[in-house]
Amino acid sequence: MIEKGIKGRLEQVVTPEMSAARIGSGLVEVFATPMMIALMERTCNESVVPQLEPGQGTVGTLINVTHSAATPIGMKVWCESELIEVDRRRLVFRVRAFDSRGPIGEGLHERFIIDTKRFMQKAMGQV
């Protein structure tokens, strides 16, 4: 059983492929908001994977975050997550992102625990 309080942390270096200009979310060569969100989702997901039953996974269903500072290519960024609410299969995380200069984003992210095989069957129209 997953209980609140689980923490996660992942880091990466911003590459040109992660820039707003490269992925099309803006025109500048800085860490793109969608890439920050992907880092947040990955951090939350990976923090709970060891607690899941075999055959289970999680999927993101809601994200509400701000991206408050620009990070240049080549700088390290990281995300810290904390599981703050568990309601049956629904997991709510507080997420915060940083670069070497300080905070760059924060908010909440919601994920649901799924049966991976059944989820994929439904996604493929087989259920």
Active site (catalytic) residues:
33, 41, 67
Q: How far apart are CA 122 and CA 68, in angstroms?
A: 37
Q: How far apart are CA 95 and CA 110, in angstroms?
A: 10
Give the single-character DSSP code of 70: -
Give the single-character DSSP code of 88: T
Amino acid identity of residue 46, one-letter, is: E
Other beta carbons within 10 Å of 100: 10
Residue 86, burial from CB neighbour count under 10 angstroms (0-12, 13-18, 19+): middle
